[in-house]
Amino acid sequence: MKFPFSDEPNTATIVCCHVLEKNEPILFASHDEDDGMWQFLCGHTHETDEARIISLLAAFEIDPSIGELKDMPCGYYATRESIEDHWIVNKIHSNEGDLNE
Ligand SMILES: [Zn+2]
C-alpha cells in the first residue's frame, strides 16, 4: 500500500493509547497549526498520559483510511461518526473552546 502523505513516513504523530492498541477506531484527526503535527484520536476525551507518539507511517498502518486526509492543511481537524463514514473537515478555532466537548 502506497504511503499517501507528503510528510515523511517517520514524522512524529500523536495517537491515543486506545487507537494504538486498536481498542477504538480513529474518529478524530487534527493537523496542528503551530508545529504541523498530526493527531489521530478515538474521539473520546483523554488524559495527557494517554497520548502516544508514533510515526505517521505507523498511524497509517493502523488505519489506512486516514490517508484520505493527506491534503488537509495545518490548522484543520476532521471528525467522522464511524470508520464507514467520510471525514468532515473543519478549521480549528483559535480559542479551542470546543475541546471540552
Ligand atoms: Zn482514545
| 14-44 per-position pLDDT tens digit | 999 999 999 999 999 999 999 999 999 999 9
The Å distance, Cα 17 to ligand 1 centre, comes to 6
Q: Which three cell numbers stand for residue 37?
A: 503535527
For ligand 1, a single-atom ion, the residues with CB < 5 A are 16, 18, 42
pLDDT value, residue 101: 46
Q: Which three cell numbers stand for residue 61?
A: 498502518
Sheet holding 76-79, edge to edge: 51-55, 12-16, 38-41, 28-31, 76-79, 88-91
Residue pair 68/61 in contact (Cβ under 8 Å)? The answer is no
Confidence of residue 93 (pLDDT cuts 50, 70, 90): confident
The Å distance, Cα 2 to ligand 1 centre, comes to 26
pLDDT value, residue 18: 98
Confidence of residue 95 (pLDDT cuts 50, 70, 90): low
User: 49, 44, 47, 50: which is closest to 24 by C-alpha?
Assistant: 44
pLDDT value, residue 1: 74
The Å distance, Cα 28 to ligand 1 centre, comes to 9
